[in-house]
Structure 1
Amino acid sequence: MEQINEIADKLKLLGDKTRLTILALLTDREWCVCEFVDLFDMSQPAVSQHLRKLKSQGLVSESRRGQWVYYSLNIDDKPYIRAVLNEIPSSQEVLSSMNKEINCDCD
Protein backbone atom coordinates (compact mmCIF):
# COMPACT_ATOMS: atom_id res chain seq x y z
CA MET A 1 0.00 0.00 0.00
CA GLU A 2 2.93 2.33 0.69
CA GLN A 3 4.07 2.06 -2.92
CA ILE A 4 0.61 3.05 -4.16
CA ASN A 5 0.65 6.12 -1.91
CA GLU A 6 4.12 7.07 -3.15
CA ILE A 7 3.14 6.73 -6.81
CA ALA A 8 -0.10 8.66 -6.20
CA ASP A 9 1.84 11.54 -4.62
CA LYS A 10 4.17 11.74 -7.61
CA LEU A 11 1.33 11.59 -10.11
CA LYS A 12 -0.52 14.37 -8.24
CA LEU A 13 2.40 16.66 -9.05
CA LEU A 14 1.82 16.03 -12.74
CA GLY A 15 -1.73 17.36 -12.44
CA ASP A 16 -0.26 20.87 -12.55
CA LYS A 17 0.28 22.10 -16.11
CA THR A 18 3.44 24.05 -15.24
CA ARG A 19 5.11 21.11 -13.50
CA LEU A 20 4.14 18.72 -16.28
CA THR A 21 5.55 21.16 -18.84
CA ILE A 22 8.78 21.47 -16.84
CA LEU A 23 9.19 17.69 -16.87
CA ALA A 24 8.47 17.57 -20.61
CA LEU A 25 11.18 20.17 -21.23
CA LEU A 26 13.65 18.31 -19.04
CA THR A 27 13.38 15.18 -21.20
CA ASP A 28 15.95 16.59 -23.65
CA ARG A 29 18.35 18.59 -21.52
CA GLU A 30 18.94 20.26 -18.19
CA TRP A 31 17.52 23.73 -17.62
CA CYS A 32 18.49 26.66 -15.46
CA VAL A 33 15.91 28.29 -13.22
CA CYS A 34 16.39 31.57 -15.10
CA GLU A 35 15.32 29.89 -18.35
CA PHE A 36 12.08 28.69 -16.77
CA VAL A 37 11.43 32.18 -15.37
CA ASP A 38 11.63 33.65 -18.88
CA LEU A 39 9.69 30.83 -20.49
CA PHE A 40 6.74 30.78 -18.09
CA ASP A 41 6.68 34.54 -17.37
CA MET A 42 6.73 33.69 -13.67
CA SER A 43 8.71 35.05 -10.79
CA GLN A 44 11.83 33.19 -9.76
CA PRO A 45 10.26 32.22 -6.39
CA ALA A 46 7.20 30.76 -8.16
CA VAL A 47 9.35 28.68 -10.52
CA SER A 48 11.55 27.58 -7.62
CA GLN A 49 8.45 26.44 -5.71
CA HIS A 50 7.42 24.18 -8.61
CA LEU A 51 10.94 22.80 -8.88
CA ARG A 52 11.15 22.28 -5.11
CA LYS A 53 8.01 20.14 -5.23
CA LEU A 54 9.37 18.08 -8.12
CA LYS A 55 12.69 17.66 -6.33
CA SER A 56 11.03 16.67 -3.04
CA GLN A 57 9.36 13.75 -4.84
CA GLY A 58 12.61 12.75 -6.52
CA LEU A 59 11.51 13.63 -10.06
CA VAL A 60 14.27 16.15 -10.71
CA SER A 61 17.87 16.58 -9.59
CA GLU A 62 19.68 19.85 -9.17
CA SER A 63 23.26 20.97 -9.55
CA ARG A 64 24.66 24.36 -8.65
CA ARG A 65 27.09 26.18 -10.93
CA GLY A 66 28.10 29.50 -9.52
CA GLN A 67 24.96 31.41 -8.63
CA TRP A 68 22.72 29.33 -10.94
CA VAL A 69 20.91 26.09 -10.22
CA TYR A 70 20.36 23.64 -13.07
CA TYR A 71 17.70 20.95 -13.05
CA SER A 72 17.61 17.59 -14.81
CA LEU A 73 15.12 14.75 -15.01
CA ASN A 74 15.50 11.98 -12.42
CA ILE A 75 13.02 9.28 -13.43
CA ASP A 76 15.16 6.25 -14.29
CA ASP A 77 13.57 4.33 -11.40
CA LYS A 78 10.06 5.66 -12.13
CA PRO A 79 8.75 3.97 -15.31
CA TYR A 80 5.21 5.22 -14.65
CA ILE A 81 6.44 8.82 -14.96
CA ARG A 82 8.30 7.94 -18.17
CA ALA A 83 5.05 6.42 -19.50
CA VAL A 84 3.21 9.70 -18.85
CA LEU A 85 5.97 11.76 -20.48
CA ASN A 86 5.93 9.47 -23.52
CA GLU A 87 2.29 10.45 -24.12
CA ILE A 88 2.73 14.23 -24.09
CA PRO A 89 4.22 16.51 -26.77
CA SER A 90 8.00 16.59 -27.11
CA SER A 91 9.99 19.43 -25.62
CA GLN A 92 10.42 20.92 -29.11
CA GLU A 93 6.65 20.88 -29.65
CA VAL A 94 6.08 22.45 -26.24
CA LEU A 95 8.53 25.25 -26.98
CA SER A 96 7.02 25.84 -30.43
CA SER A 97 3.52 26.07 -28.98
CA MET A 98 4.73 28.60 -26.40
CA ASN A 99 6.30 30.64 -29.21
CA LYS A 100 9.17 31.79 -26.97
CA GLU A 101 12.88 32.18 -27.31
CA ILE A 102 15.02 31.41 -24.30
CA ASN A 103 17.53 34.10 -23.44
CA CYS A 104 19.51 33.19 -20.39
CA ASP A 105 22.53 34.90 -18.92
CA CYS A 106 23.35 31.82 -16.89
CA ASP A 107 26.82 31.24 -18.25
Structure 2
Amino acid sequence: MLQTTIELEKAAGILKLLGDKTRLTMLKLINEQTCCVCEFVEIFQSSQPSISQHLRKLKDLGLVKEERKGQWIFYTVNSKSEYYSFIKPILNQLPDQDDKLKELEEKGTRISCC
Protein backbone atom coordinates (compact mmCIF):
# COMPACT_ATOMS: atom_id res chain seq x y z
CA MET A 1 0.00 0.00 0.00
CA LEU A 2 1.37 3.42 -0.96
CA GLN A 3 1.90 5.88 1.83
CA THR A 4 0.13 9.16 1.14
CA THR A 5 1.56 11.20 4.01
CA ILE A 6 4.99 11.35 5.55
CA GLU A 7 6.14 12.65 8.90
CA LEU A 8 7.51 16.18 8.72
CA GLU A 9 10.80 15.18 10.33
CA LYS A 10 11.32 12.34 7.85
CA ALA A 11 10.37 14.57 4.90
CA ALA A 12 12.92 17.16 6.03
CA GLY A 13 15.60 14.47 6.28
CA ILE A 14 14.86 13.15 2.80
CA LEU A 15 14.81 16.64 1.31
CA LYS A 16 18.11 17.45 3.03
CA LEU A 17 19.60 14.27 1.56
CA LEU A 18 18.28 15.20 -1.88
CA GLY A 19 19.66 18.72 -1.47
CA ASP A 20 23.03 17.37 -2.55
CA LYS A 21 23.35 17.67 -6.35
CA THR A 22 25.39 14.47 -6.65
CA ARG A 23 22.86 12.35 -4.76
CA LEU A 24 19.94 13.92 -6.60
CA THR A 25 21.61 13.24 -9.95
CA MET A 26 22.39 9.67 -8.90
CA LEU A 27 18.76 9.05 -8.02
CA LYS A 28 17.59 10.48 -11.33
CA LEU A 29 20.07 8.28 -13.21
CA ILE A 30 19.08 5.09 -11.43
CA ASN A 31 15.37 5.82 -11.42
CA GLU A 32 15.06 4.04 -14.76
CA GLN A 33 18.20 1.93 -15.06
CA THR A 34 20.93 0.35 -13.02
CA CYS A 35 24.36 1.85 -12.55
CA CYS A 36 27.55 0.55 -11.00
CA VAL A 37 29.77 2.51 -8.63
CA CYS A 38 32.47 2.60 -11.30
CA GLU A 39 30.09 4.42 -13.64
CA PHE A 40 29.30 7.01 -10.97
CA VAL A 41 33.03 7.49 -10.36
CA GLU A 42 33.45 8.28 -14.06
CA ILE A 43 30.33 10.48 -14.33
CA PHE A 44 31.07 12.59 -11.26
CA GLN A 45 34.87 12.46 -11.55
CA SER A 46 34.94 11.54 -7.88
CA SER A 47 36.64 8.87 -5.80
CA GLN A 48 35.07 5.47 -5.23
CA PRO A 49 34.89 6.03 -1.43
CA SER A 50 33.07 9.35 -1.98
CA ILE A 51 30.55 7.75 -4.36
CA SER A 52 30.05 4.82 -1.98
CA GLN A 53 29.34 7.26 0.86
CA HIS A 54 26.63 8.98 -1.19
CA LEU A 55 25.08 5.63 -2.06
CA ARG A 56 25.23 4.46 1.55
CA LYS A 57 23.23 7.50 2.67
CA LEU A 58 20.59 6.81 0.04
CA LYS A 59 20.55 3.12 0.89
CA ASP A 60 20.26 3.78 4.64
CA LEU A 61 16.95 5.55 3.97
CA GLY A 62 15.84 2.71 1.73
CA LEU A 63 15.74 4.92 -1.37
CA VAL A 64 18.06 2.69 -3.37
CA LYS A 65 18.55 -1.02 -3.63
CA GLU A 66 21.58 -2.94 -4.72
CA GLU A 67 22.08 -6.11 -6.69
CA ARG A 68 25.34 -7.98 -6.68
CA LYS A 69 26.56 -9.43 -9.97
CA GLY A 70 29.82 -11.21 -9.32
CA GLN A 71 32.13 -8.76 -7.59
CA TRP A 72 30.19 -5.72 -8.79
CA ILE A 73 27.22 -4.04 -7.17
CA PHE A 74 24.56 -2.30 -9.25
CA TYR A 75 22.14 0.27 -7.87
CA THR A 76 18.56 1.19 -8.75
CA VAL A 77 15.89 3.32 -7.10
CA ASN A 78 13.87 1.25 -4.67
CA SER A 79 10.35 1.72 -6.02
CA LYS A 80 9.03 -0.37 -3.11
CA SER A 81 10.40 2.09 -0.53
CA GLU A 82 7.83 3.63 1.75
CA TYR A 83 9.20 7.00 0.58
CA TYR A 84 9.10 6.35 -3.16
CA SER A 85 5.74 8.08 -3.57
CA PHE A 86 7.34 11.13 -1.91
CA ILE A 87 10.48 11.27 -4.09
CA LYS A 88 8.94 10.15 -7.41
CA PRO A 89 7.29 13.53 -8.19
CA ILE A 90 10.61 15.24 -7.45
CA LEU A 91 12.50 12.92 -9.80
CA ASN A 92 9.83 13.38 -12.48
CA GLN A 93 10.42 17.15 -12.42
CA LEU A 94 14.14 16.81 -13.12
CA PRO A 95 15.65 16.86 -16.60
CA ASP A 96 16.74 13.46 -17.77
CA GLN A 97 20.39 12.58 -17.32
CA ASP A 98 20.74 10.15 -20.22
CA ASP A 99 23.45 12.35 -21.74
CA LYS A 100 25.78 11.34 -18.89
CA LEU A 101 25.33 7.65 -19.68
CA LYS A 102 25.57 8.28 -23.43
CA GLU A 103 28.89 10.05 -22.85
CA LEU A 104 30.15 6.99 -20.96
CA GLU A 105 29.10 4.76 -23.85
CA GLU A 106 30.89 7.00 -26.34
CA LYS A 107 34.05 6.90 -24.22
CA GLY A 108 33.72 3.13 -23.87
CA THR A 109 33.46 3.34 -20.07
CA ARG A 110 29.79 2.39 -19.64
CA ILE A 111 29.74 -0.60 -17.25
CA SER A 112 33.49 -0.86 -17.64
CA CYS A 113 33.69 -2.98 -14.53
CA CYS A 114 31.84 -5.92 -16.05
Report the TM-score when normalising by structure 2: 0.81
Deviations 1:11-56 (A, max 9, x none): 1111000000000101220101111011111000000000000000
Cα distance in 1 between the residues matched to 2:73 and 2:7 = 30
Q: Does the CA contact (< 8 Å) of 2:32 and 2:76 recur in 1?
A: no
Unaligned runs of 5+ in 1: none
- Unmatched tracts of structure 2, length 5 or more: 1-5
Shift of 1:6: 1.5
SS of 1:49 mapped into structure 2: helix
* C-alpha distance in 2 between matches for 1:65 and 1:23: 20
In the alignment, is the contact (CA less than 8 A) between 1:24 and 1:90 conserved in 2? Answer: yes
Percent identity over the alignment? 46
SS at match of 1:106: coil
User: How many pairs align?
Assistant: 103
Q: Residue in 1 aligned with 2:93?
A: 87
CA contact (8 A) 2:29 2:97 kept: yes
Task: Find the partner of 2:103 among 96, 100, 105.
Answer: 100
AA aligned to 2:98 is: Q
Work out the CA distance in 2 between the residues paired with 1:69 and 1:14.
22
Secondary structure (helix, strand or coil) at the match of 2:104 reads coil
Contact 1:27 1:91 survives alignment (8 Å): no
Work out whether 1:32 is the aligned partner of 2:36: yes
Moved more, 25-34 or 4-13: 4-13
How high is the TM-score relative to the length of structure 1? Answer: 0.85
Is 1:63 matched up with 2:67? yes
Give the C-alpha shift of residue 100 in structure 1. 3.3
